Amino acid sequence: MMFNKGHGRLERREAWTISDPKLLAGLRHAADFAHLTTVMMVRLERRLGTDVSVEWRYYIASRKTSAAQLLRHKRSHWRIENSLHWVLDIAFREDESRLRKGHGAQNCAILRHLALNLLKQESTCKLGTFNKRLKAAWDTDYLLKVLATLFP
Rounded to whole angstroms, how far apart are CA atoms 67 and 58? 12
* pLDDT value of residue 44: 92
The share of the chain scoring above pLDDT 70, in percent, equals 95
Radius of gyration in angstroms for the set of CA atoms belonging to the chain, rounded to a whole number? 21
Does the pTM surpass 0.95? The reply is no
The one-character DSSP state at 17 is E
Percent of the chain with pLDDT over 90: 34
Q: Tens of pLDDT along 85-106? A: 778 887 888 877 888 888 888 8
Q: Contact at 8 Å (CB) between 74 and 59? A: yes
Question: Cβ(24)–Cβ(17) under 8 Å?
Answer: no
What integer pLDDT is reported at residue 43 of this predicted model?
93
| pLDDT tens track for 30-83 | 889 989 999 999 999 999 989 999 999 998 888 888 888 888 887 776 666 667
How many Cα atoms sit within 13 Å of 122 on the Cβ side? 26
Q: What is the pLDDT of residue 16?
A: 93
